[in-house]
Amino acid sequence: MKTRESYDGAIERTLFTAKEIDAAVQRLANQIAEDHCRQPLTLVGVLKGALYVVTDLARALAAIPDGPSEIIVDYICVSSYGNSARSSGEVRMLKDVSEPITGRNVVIVEDIVDNGLTLQYLRSLFEERRPASLRACVLFDKPYHRRVEVPVDYVGLQSPDQFVVGYGLDYQELFRNLPYLAQLRPAAFKEG
Looking only at the bridges linking them, the beta strands covering 105-113 and 133-141 are parallel
Please name the helix (run of DSSP H) or strand (run of DSSP E) that holds residue 31, with its range, or none: helix 18-35
114 given a catalytic annotation: yes
Spatial neighbors of 154 by CB under 8 A, at least 6 apart, are 28, 31, 32, 107, 135, 136, 137, 138
158 half-sphere exposure, CB direction, 13 A CA radius: 4
* Catalytic-labelled residue, pool 114, 141, 161, 170: 114
Nearest of 176, 178, 189, 126 to residue 16 by alpha carbon: 178
* Cβ-based neighbours of 63, under 8 Å, separated by 6 or more: 29
- Strand bridging mode 105-113 / 40-47: parallel
How far, in Å, CA of 176 to CA of 129, rounded?
31
Residues carrying an active site annotation: 114
